[in-house]
Structure 1
Amino acid sequence: MGSGPAQLGHGRRRGHRRLSGGVHTLAAKAFDDFLLKFVGSRITRDIGTPQERSYSFGPEVLRLVTIEEGLPFANFASPALPGLRPGAHTTTVFFRMALEHCDGAGIVREENCLPAGEIQYTGNTPFEVVKKRASAAG
């Protein structure tokens, strides 16, 4: 599951899977399992710099939608954050899980499961804030 856009899709396959260590998941229930175990997220801006700031949110940041074939899908959507000064910045998203969650799409724990606790979900994503242009009176 690792780095990537802050989106989660679950429940593609139906059926029971047995993972190493005796972990079981029913793929049809994987989406509900994720929702029950998702505690929240943390957005960190400018990580590793003197300007670093973190903002934490609970499970209310998930937006539930249905995609192709009627599959449930969760998308992360934070409230508006305080503005930044013009220049280069970064953002990194972390998820907090109450318990390990497996997506039911495979049997490889490292590829198909999120561990309990806080995990880095996205990479350190760069972006730039530009000065607002003065509007021409017209």
Structure 2
Amino acid sequence: MISAAIGFNENQQKSIVDLLKNHQTNPDKSKRKEENERIIKEAIELGKLSKSQERFNIAMLNASDDQNDIDNFLAHEVSDSILTEKGFYPQDFCDIRKFMNSSLNMIPSQMVQIDSSGMNLKGHLLKKRS
């Protein structure tokens, strides 16, 4: 089991899973790091985690917050004006929105790359204005 490989016993694994399930991303980004540190320190004080696992678990909560930010961004409808501002052509707006919605269900290796030439979207090259 991967949790044993990184030094978690069964009880610690359950604590971490519960922690991530119940973790709420603080909307105030300036307070997130401090709050995540406090949450992990409390878990250590309660004996749910060991001190040696502190940095790993803080990083895991911070990564969870970052993923929530990405998911929240992708879940919202992007207005035509924002897409125009980003340099996309109106004829591509529908494809861009479909891609954003479908990417919520993808694993990172399935994501397409965005490069200077545009966005490769299922064989389509969406050109940005110069």
Q: TM-score range by the shorter chain?
A: under 0.3
* Higher RCO structure, 1 or 2 (CA under 8 Å, sep 6+): 1
Report the structure, 1 or 2, having the larger strand content.
1
Normalised TM-score (structure 2): 0.25
Normalised TM-score (structure 1): 0.24
Query: Which of the two has higher C-alpha Rg?
Result: 2
